[in-house]
Amino acid sequence: MANFHLQPSVETCHWGYFDAKQRPALTISSGDTVTIDTVSGSPNVIPDRTKFHIPDALDAIHAGLRPEGPHILTGPVFIEGAMPGMVVEIRIHDVSLLQDWGFNLILPLLGTLPHDYDEPRHVNIPLDRARNVGILPWGLELDLKPFFGVMGFAPPKGWGRISSIAPQATGGNLDNKELTAGSTLFLPVFTEGGLFSCGDGHGAQGDGEVCVTAIETALRGTFEFILHKDLAFTYPRAETPTHYITMGMDPDLDQCAVKALREMITLIGEKTGLSAADAYMLCSLAGDLHVTQTVNVSKGVHMMIEKKLLTPRKEH
């Protein structure tokens, strides 16, 4: 199994979209591990260069790429043998900060309260990497729990180029704060090679991400990619060391909850052999629905259930 390091540049990044016709930045085999560096933000969010570290790649990307959306993504990574109908297991081994600042934006007409704030607001947030805290303007030191807001595959070729803003069955802008180091994301494949890209680094985020942004920052992630030909589900799933996670994305938050719940009922049936009715009951007794985000055109809900509860059904 090989190890690779993919760094951001004009040649290895794309800004604001996923596209099945895009040339891979890296080709790997199942079982390989890739460390991926990312950058984040447009030129108008850069802080005082005399006080903070600005990655060289960020300036080059600003000069060399045309933005088609908010997210600067590193990739795509082509996984040999990955074909539509298969699933790739993405083990997130490590996530770490690459700079000493982040930013947060409030933008009129966007967010969960689109009409409450009439002026745009931009705040740079110092990040103390040694103590793993972000220092908010009023002095609060907020614990950092870094993760990638965007991790996804390219869509089917027939979709053409799609925005990175709305999450899809392909993954993308999931903004799921549970996907920190030690978790695993499962993504169905929709085009040859999968074409994995990531970005939208978050230093910290609450469920909801209500003002559109988290602490946006540059991150380094180490991912192991494992191809599964025997899995057939068609929507993202995830695991933490203790929980299974299913997801639902839709412009209607109620439908997000319905989708995440139905996905969990299916997962429980697969793991335990329980009937759909028994799985539904277990979800009501022990499953937790969380509002993932309410700001990305398609909103998100994820459902979590403890792994220890899903033991194979015992016959009586």
Amino acid at 287: G
Q: Identify the CA nearest to 155 among candidates 142, 173, 168, 146.
A: 168
β-bridge mates for residue 291, sequence order: 301
**Residues 98, 47 contacting (CB under 8 angstroms):** no
Cis before 76? omega within 30? yes
Give the per-residue pLDDT at 315: 63
Token output for 60: 């080059």
Compute mean pLDDT per 10 residues along the chain, 316 residues long, and list them.
97 98 98 98 96 96 97 98 98 98 97 97 97 98 98 98 98 98 98 98 98 98 97 95 98 98 98 97 98 98 98 71
Give the per-residue pLDDT at 265: 98
Give the per-residue pLDDT at 89: 98
For the sheet with 299-306, list strands across it: 3-6, 33-37, 219-228, 87-97, 184-188, 237-239, 243-250, 299-306, 288-293
Amino acid at 276: A
**Residues 76, 172 contacting (CB under 8 angstroms):** no
Token output for 108: 């009129």
Give the per-residue pLDDT at 316: 52
**Residues 299, 250 contacting (CB under 8 angstroms):** yes
Q: Rounded CA gap, 203 and 178, in Å?
A: 13
Give the per-residue pLDDT at 313: 72
Claim: this prediction has a pTM higher than 0.85: yes
Give the per-residue pLDDT at 232: 86
